[in-house]
Amino acid sequence: MSKRIADQTEELVLPILEELSLELVDITFEKEGQNWFLRVYIDKENGVDIEECGQVSEKLSDKLDEVDPIQAAYFLEVSSPGVERPLKKEKDFQEHIGKTVYVKLYQPIDGEKEFSGELVDFTDGYVKISYRVKTKKKEVEVPFDKIAKAHLAVTFD
């Protein structure tokens, strides 16, 4: 159900974002406690502000009211993805080479299912991450289709 709603919401929000020169980062439809939340994460090169989130929220709310794809009561939230921006698409990885990332896998590679380190490269469907184990620097190549979850990671040096 939530995948279908996310797909329908994406169809409705993409023209709005294009008109405002904004990018869609992610859409989630989740139940928290008794309430359902439809969350739309947007961004642009130098970040989005509250006015842009408000514009998208207002226009998307009108479209959702017209089409009415969600039967349950829900809260609509439109916001920035924040500093730990999710990495979902191949282009997300390509655009963030050199940044620190956290990647969780469906199946282990070299006995590990989670890696945190520098995103070194993305080529031919493989994500290359440089990470540290104690004092040793290692690299791992992860097939894009084996990634369960990934996001930018905040580091404190």
* Selection from 133, 112, 153, 152 nearest residue 141 by Cα: 112
Structural domain boundaries in the chain? 2-79, 90-152
> What is the rounded distance in angstroms from the CA atom of residue 119 to the CA atom of residue 140?
10
- Host H or E run for residue 122: strand 112-123
Which superfamily does CATH assign the domain made up of 90-152 to? Ribosome maturation factor RimP, C-terminal domain (2.30.30.180)
What is the value of pTM for the model shown? 0.78
Tens digit of each residue's pLDDT (9 = 90 or more) over 63-103: 999 998 888 899 999 999 988 999 989 999 999 999 999 99
Residue 89 carries which DSSP code?
A: S
pLDDT range class, residue 144, cuts 50, 70, 90: very high
| The CATH number fitting domain 2-79, selected from 3.30.300.70, 3.40.50.1000, 2.40.10.10, 3.40.50.261 | 3.30.300.70
Q: Do domains 2-79 and 90-152 have the same CATH topology?
A: no
Residue 157 has pLDDT above 90, yes or no: no
Classify 92 as helix, strand or coil: helix
Given the structure tokens 């989130």, which residue do they identify? Answer: 53
Structure confidence at residue 134 (pLDDT)? 86
Q: How many residues does the chain have?
A: 157
> What is the rounded distance in angstroms from the CA atom of residue 121 to the CA atom of residue 112?
19
Alpha carbon of residue 138 to chain centroid: 26
Tens digit of each residue's pLDDT (9 = 90 or more) over 20-34: 999 999 999 999 999
